[in-house]
């Protein structure tokens, strides 16, 4: 009596396809590998940076109001009408007002970029946008605060109150509105430079065996 013939076990190893390991950052299962915080976290950090940098405009406005040179004016009454003119027509105080704001803006851009980089070295597009937007909002806040703290904007009323021939200070104003860009541009350039020089580097992909 012969034993029943049983077919040999089917070996599918020859038909199996070897799959290469997924590249870095590719989907694993139902999720994704994230190299750092998620987008929601980055947006939250960017919002905090925007508000914090913009509030620095209060300090910039105070320093501008304190350090900016005063433009001397003189009032006179002619035919019962008041006129106001510059006491020193060749003075450079008006240029110094804008220059002071620009220099302070550059300094604030440098400091804010260094602080943001030290707190968040990985950077990211939301953080860079937040740094630029916060610097612009801070510049506008500093400008309006300095004007509000400065001398009275109604020069004719100020001249009448001071008296005929009495020197008084002109309102604090920013003639070159491009000075508002000093802070955000300096912050962006310094932050990009720090990230390029000292920021973390992405790991190089490993070489395949036999190559």
pLDDT of residue 198: 82
Does 125 or 7 have the greater pLDDT score?
125
Write the pLDDT tens digit of every residue in 38-93.
Answer: 788 888 989 999 999 999 999 999 999 999 999 888 887 777 778 887 777 766 78
pLDDT of residue 50: 95
Strand partners, 81: 78
Name the pLDDT band for 116 (thresholds 50, 70, 90). Answer: very high
Q: What are phi and psi of 78, to 5 degrees?
A: -125, 120
Distance spanning both ends of the chain, measured CA to CA? 59
Q: What are phi and psi of 10, to 5 degrees?
A: -80, 125
Write the pLDDT tens digit of every residue in 181-210.
Answer: 999 999 999 999 998 888 666 566 665 554
Predicted TM-score (pTM) of the model is 0.74
Determine if residue 176 is left, alpha or beta; phi over 0 gives left, psi from -120 to 50 gives alpha, anything else beta.
Answer: beta
pLDDT of residue 2: 53
Write the pLDDT tens digit of every residue in 130-168.
Answer: 999 999 999 999 999 999 999 888 877 877 777 777 887
């Amino acid at each position: 009596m012969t034993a029943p013939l049983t077919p040999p076990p089917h070996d599918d190893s020859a038909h199996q396809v070897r799959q290469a390991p997924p590249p870095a950052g590719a989907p694993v299962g139902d999720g994704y590998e994230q190299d750092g915080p998620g987008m929601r976290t980055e947006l939250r950090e960017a919002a905090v940076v925007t508000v914090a940098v913009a509030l620095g405009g209060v300090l910039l406005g105070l320093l501008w109001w304190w350090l900016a040179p005063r433009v001397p004016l003189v009032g006179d009454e002619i035919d019962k009408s008041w006129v106001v003119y510059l006491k020193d027509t060749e003075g450079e105080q008006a240029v110094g007002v804008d220059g002071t704001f620009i220099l302070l803006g550059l300094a604030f851009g440098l400091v804010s970029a260094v602080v943001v980089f030290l707190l968040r070295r990985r950077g990211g597009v939301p953080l860079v946008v937040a740094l630029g937007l916060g610097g612009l909002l801070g510049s506008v806040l500093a400008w309006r605060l300095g004007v509000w703290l400065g001398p009275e904007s109604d020069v004719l009323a100020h001249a009448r109150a001071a008296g005929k021939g009495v020197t008084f200070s002109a309102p604090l104003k920013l003639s070159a509105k491009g000075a508002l860009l000093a802070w955000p541009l300096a912050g962006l350039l310094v932050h990009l430079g720090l990230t390029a020089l000292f920021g973390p580097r992405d790991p190089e992909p490993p070489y395949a065996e036999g190559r």
